Amino acid sequence: MQFREHTLDNGLEIVAECNDQAYSTAVGFFVKTGARDESDAIAGVSHFLEHMAFKGTTTRSADDVNREFDAMGADYNAFTAEEGTVYYAAVLPECQDRAVALLADILRPTLPPHDFDSEKQVILEEIFMHEDHPPFGAEEKCRATHFGSHPLARTILGTVESITDLTVDAMRAYLDRRYRPGNVALVGTGRIDFDALVSTASRCCASWVPLEAGRPAAAADSKAHFVAIQKETATQQYAVRMSDGPSAIDPDRYAAALLAMALGDDGGSRLYWELVDTGLAEHAALGHVDYEDAGLYVVHLSCDPDQTADNLQRVLDVVRQAESGGITEEELDQAKNKLSSRVVLSAERPLNRLSAVGTEWVVRGEYLSVRDVLDALAAVTPDHVARLLAKFPLSQGTTVTIGPLAELAPPK
């Protein structure tokens, strides 16, 4: 296992964790742009653009793009998040060059107007589908309420209005501004031929013209709120709860991941024993997610409407109890064992490693081996977790609930 890095003259960074023992090769372009880089007028453009990337380039039609990926047997796709858009493919090692060249090409899409209009319908269907799917937009509503004026309040899909009104020109301007080489990293994992990776990137991406894309720093604006939305057609009641937590550059993020696992993993955690094992809730889980300048603990709850008020109180009681008493050494060890094993098992697939290596590089500009991550987890102590709970009190947060209930009182 060897980490290699190289930067092209135009600023495109190329990094790879090279593993001669792997059967496959995973490559991806990590573009540092997402929902937080949008404005109201172009809400959802990052995600729509990610779809349009597969719709043709100066040398390939949309059919060509899909056929070429399939013809090399690639496991490929793309996704858009709040802070990044990732285009990836896992292929057999002999296809590395073709996969990188194809991915590089689709990062310069031509955005043909006919395909733009047709794909707009697909995006609208994705929004409708999302709204039909639990928790019926409660996550977005909670995010918007929790983050207030901070750009992480934005949603990835945009709205029916913003997508309907979006123009090709606006998308082209966004593409031109954000997909600059200094704002993109080419990442490889698995059986990578690094010299070939650099040479393919030089051939395919050297013409990309640098321009500072940037991302302004934003101030936190979180407040505690409780919002209840009625949706009469729902069967179950759903709740999403967000609290501030350590960011992606905060060394406390490992303690936060372990704390979330001990309190709210979907099996064997305090929330599990309190709410799921007892049959009081269908689902109750707490996770930690991190961003450049903010972090979140997110609770998801779904249950019978009649039990929602009591269950929300139980969730609050569980986190308050942790705030006052911390977690035990035994709970922490159990969380470490579980998380460490997941890290090791997941790393057996290059495609899984791609996501970890790429995110670390783009967000923190560093490389962490699996061993580094295991060491960081092992170093967390119960005192450390207690300090974290004092710094980011889990009992403070925003809750949005949606379901058949006309009204619901917040927990005390």
Partner 1 sequence: MAETTYSHSLANGLVLVAEPMAWLESAAFALMVPAGCVYDPAERSGLASFTCEMALRGAGPRDSRRFIGDLDNLGVHWNDSVSEAHTTFRGATLADNLPDALAIFADVVRRPHLPADQLEAGRQVMLQELRAVEDEPAQKVMIELRRRHYPRPWGRPPQGELDALEAIALDDVSGHFNQGFRPNGAVLAVAGRFDWARLRATVEALHGDWKPGAEPSIGEEPWARRHEHLPYDANQTQIGVSYPSVPYRHPDYFPAWGAVGVLSGGMSARLFTEVRERRGLCYSVYATYHYLRDRAGVFCYAGTNPERAQETLDVLLAELNRLARGVEAHELDRLKARIKSLLIMQQESSSARSAAIARDWYHLHRVRSLDELGGLVEGLTCESINAYLAEHPPGRFTVVTLGPRELEVPVAVP
The nearer residue to partner 1, 75 or 375, going by C-beta atoms, is 75
The nearer residue to partner 1, 72 or 213, going by C-beta atoms, is 72
Among 1, 79, 211, 304, binds partner 1 (CB under 8 A): 304
Token representation of residue 316: 């609050």
- Min separation Cβ 119 and partner 1, Å: 6
- Min separation Cβ 372 and partner 1, Å: 17
Among 334, 355, 359, 401, binds partner 1 (CB under 8 A): 334
Using the rule CB under 8 A, is 119 a contact of partner 1?
A: yes
Q: Which of residues 10-29 bind partner 1 (CB under 8 A)?
A: 21-24
Using the rule CB under 8 A, is 189 a contact of partner 1?
A: no
> Interacting stretch for partner 1, rule CB under 8 A, among 177-185, 286-294, 345-353, 359-367?
345-353
Using the rule CB under 8 A, is 280 a contact of partner 1?
A: yes
Rounded distance between C-alpha atoms, residue 410 and residue 226, angstroms = 6
Token representation of residue 169: 């020109």
Using the rule CB under 8 A, is 349 a contact of partner 1?
A: yes
Using the rule CB under 8 A, is 236 a contact of partner 1?
A: yes
The nearer residue to partner 1, 92 or 368, going by C-beta atoms, is 92
The nearer residue to partner 1, 243 or 302, going by C-beta atoms, is 302
Q: Which of residues 54-83 bind partner 1 (CB under 8 A)?
A: 54, 62-63, 66-67, 69-75
Nearby residues of 35 by Cβ (< 8 Å), 6 or more positions away: 43, 44, 46, 47, 80, 81, 82, 151, 154, 155, 156
Among 128, 230, 375, 379, binds partner 1 (CB under 8 A): 128
> Interacting stretch for partner 1, rule CB under 8 A, among 32-40, 128-136, 145-153, 383-391?
128-136
Question: Cβ(84)–Cβ(359) under 8 Å?
Answer: yes
How many residues line the site for partner 1 (CB under 8 A)?
A: 66
Using the rule CB under 8 A, is 337 a contact of partner 1?
A: yes
- Min separation Cβ 401 and partner 1, Å: 14
- Min separation Cβ 356 and partner 1, Å: 15
Among 58, 59, 233, 324, binds partner 1 (CB under 8 A): 233
- Min separation Cβ 1 and partner 1, Å: 13
Using the rule CB under 8 A, is 401 a contact of partner 1?
A: no
Q: What are phi and psi of 266, to 5 degrees?
A: -75, 5
- Burial class of residue 278, CB neighbours in 10 A (0-12, 13-18, 19+): exposed
Question: Cβ(384)–Cβ(253) under 8 Å?
Answer: no
Token representation of residue 61: 């039609």
Among 134, 295, 326, 358, binds partner 1 (CB under 8 A): 134
Token representation of residue 166: 């979006």
> Interacting stretch for partner 1, rule CB under 8 A, among 125-133, 212-220, 250-258, 293-301?
125-133
Contact residues: partner 1, CB under 8 A: 21-24, 54, 62-63, 66-67, 69-75, 90-92, 117-126, 128-129, 131-134, 233-236, 267-268, 273, 276-283, 302-304, 333-335, 337-338, 340-342, 344-345, 348-350
